[in-house]
Amino acid sequence: MGLILGIDLCDSFSQISVYSPEKKAPEPLLLGGAESNGLISTTLCKVRGQDSWLIGTEAYQRALMGEGTMVDKLVKLLMRDTSATIEGVQYSAVQLMAAFITQLIRLPKIIYKEEEIDGIAFGLRQLDPDLLDRLTEACDLCGLDRKKVRFLSHTECFAYYVASQPKDLWPNTAAAFDLTEAGLDYFEMQVIRGRRPQILQAAREPLDEAFDLDLLETPMGERMADTILSACADRKLQKKLVSSVFLTGEGFISVDFAKEFLKKVCNKRKVFSGQHLFADGAALIAYDGTLPESAFPYLCICEGRLASTISLYALQDGKNEQLILASAGSNWYESKASAEFILDDVHTLELMVTPFATQRVETISLSLDELPARPNKTTRIQLIVSFSSESRVTVRVIDKGFGEIFPASGIVIRKDFLIS
């Protein structure tokens, strides 16, 4: 069996967890030295005069010694689609990310003595469509099979991670604080019972109180950070039935500075501090993706997942059936539906949007008046439904004509909709 990897890919640090089929749990990839906590600096260094790349602490060290050129903030670079020139050669952000990922996945390959990768999931703070497109390109350059690669939000990784823990840790709400260079995020997850399958609803909230981690370098700064975090804990956890709180991110490598904050969060709750929450969650999802059918018993509604089902009615083998184009709970980036229909005396396409927890049905309509006039039932259309976020759906209708009897005009009707 090949490797199943979960990678938490952030601008400052990245982490890898490897799913162990024997233990039926992910295990963090811990390296020696400065990276013994599993945090690998998202930094790339090209060794001077050689076609070799280094990552992490080694990249820093070699660059400091003047033996290579360093590039960091690789995720931001990819988001902006900029480039970097090293030794007179221009490298695109995609190429740099590909070089980083190649070196990153080399680590578990060496440690586990396994070259094959069966599944790989990347956990990201934000799921931006452009970022995901470029990451897909980067993964292609690394030779990763697209079918085996998934991109997930931190929220989803958090939900999967918590759901893999004993149920007594999350009878009510589970929460998490993620303190990194990029900011301070608060996560919440609860189960909506009384439905089959049960729904895991999770959300992320970037908190305005985020601070620079340099603040933790002085005692006074530590006290200030503790005060800020305490205020956040008061605001987010008060009057809520929170069973457990997870603290993660490089800001929580040590929690000694946050005495007041800990007092507040530990009040009648179980509190865990660790660095692999998102990578572990990603590894669990990567493993689930390798199964013929998902073993995850919940419908997950969170950032990166659709909160509504999109469907339409059409005649299938003579019967009027509801056809699901995208299901609530599916990953929007992977949700792309395409189907072909014959128009039978219809001038407007109507799609039904059904939010997951309600019986309410909204309708989105697309006029087909632009299509060429032809006899009834002689226009074949290709309907493509795709997403650029959880709430933004693009509907495209392509005129396919009717074979050689009525050739296709190539007309494309496109409209973007905001859905709940």
Partner 1 sequence: MSGLILCRDKSVTHPYYVKELGLHLYTGEELCYFIYHNIPLINEDFLDESLFEFLNQLGEEKLTARAQRLKEQAGLFDVLYLLLQELHYFTAAELFSFRRQLEELSSASYCWRMKAKGDYLFECGQFYHAIRVYEHVLEQNDKELSDQEFVAKIWHNKGCCNARLEIFDEAMYCMDKAYQLSRRTELLEKMFVLSELGGGAIPKAAEDVITAAMLKQFRTNLEDHKKLALFTGKALEAASVRDLDAEKQEEAYRTLLARWKDDYRRNQG
Q: Count the Cβ atoms, other than its own, within 10 Å of residue 253.
A: 16
* Minimum distance from residue 34 beta carbon to partner 1 (Å): 55
What is the Cα–Cα distance from 302 to 153, expressed in whole angstroms?
Answer: 8
Q: Does 342 bind partner 1 (CB under 8 A)?
A: yes
Q: Exactly one of 60, 211, 402, 417 binds partner 1 (CB under 8 A); which one?
A: 402
What is the Cα–Cα distance from 150 to 305, expressed in whole angstroms?
Answer: 13
Q: Does 396 bind partner 1 (CB under 8 A)?
A: no
Beta strand 380-387 with 392-404 is antiparallel
Give me the DSSP letters along 1-53.
--EEEEEEE-SSEEEEEEEETTTTEEEE---SGGGTTS-EE--EEEETTSS-E
User: Residue for token digits 């929450």?
Assistant: 277
Task: Please identify, using beta-carbon distances, which residue of 51 and 345 lies nearer to partner 1.
Answer: 345
- Quick note: the x/- pattern for partner 1 over 124-163, rule CB under 8 A, is ----------------------------------------
Whose CA is closest to 6, among 287, 252, 233?
287
Q: Exactly one of 151, 332, 341, 356 binds partner 1 (CB under 8 A); which one?
A: 341
Whose CA is closest to 125, among 102, 149, 151, 96?
151
Beta strand 392-404 with 412-418 is antiparallel
Q: Exactly one of 253, 323, 352, 413 binds partner 1 (CB under 8 A); which one?
A: 323
Backbone angles phi, psi at 284, to 5 degrees: -65, -40
User: In this chain, which stretch among 124-132, 182-190, 340-348, 386-394 interacts with partner 1, using CB under 8 A?
Assistant: 340-348
* Minimum distance from residue 376 beta carbon to partner 1 (Å): 10
Task: Please identify, using beta-carbon distances, which residue of 266 and 412 lies nearer to partner 1.
Answer: 412
Q: Exactly one of 224, 253, 271, 314 binds partner 1 (CB under 8 A); which one?
A: 314
Q: Exactly one of 106, 377, 412, 414 binds partner 1 (CB under 8 A); which one?
A: 377
The first and second tokens of residue 123, run together, are: 């956990």
User: In this chain, which stretch among 167-175, 203-211, 285-293, 342-350 interacts with partner 1, using CB under 8 A?
Assistant: 342-350
Q: Which of residues 349-368 bind partner 1 (CB under 8 A)?
A: 349
* Minimum distance from residue 315 beta carbon to partner 1 (Å): 5
- CB-facing half-sphere around the CA of 142: CA atoms within 13 A: 27
The first and second tokens of residue 294, run together, are: 């998902």
Backbone angles phi, psi at 199, to 5 degrees: -105, 130
Burial class for 183, CB neighbours closer than 10 Å (0-12, 13-18, 19+):
middle
* Minimum distance from residue 318 beta carbon to partner 1 (Å): 4
Q: Does 241 bind partner 1 (CB under 8 A)?
A: no
Q: What is the CA radius of gyration of the chain?
A: 24
What is the Cα–Cα distance from 227 to 237, expressed in whole angstroms?
Answer: 15
User: In this chain, which stretch among 85-93, 238-246, 289-297, 402-410 interacts with partner 1, using CB under 8 A?
Assistant: 402-410
Q: Does 238 bind partner 1 (CB under 8 A)?
A: no
Q: Does 313 bind partner 1 (CB under 8 A)?
A: yes
Task: Please identify, using beta-carbon distances, which residue of 109 and 374 lies nearer to partner 1.
Answer: 374
Q: Does 409 bind partner 1 (CB under 8 A)?
A: no
Whole-Å CA distances, 281 to 24, 46, 159, 276: 13, 31, 7, 8
Q: Does 405 bind partner 1 (CB under 8 A)?
A: yes
Which residues are near partner 1 by CB under 8 A?
A: 312-318, 320-321, 323, 339-346, 349, 377-378, 380, 402-405
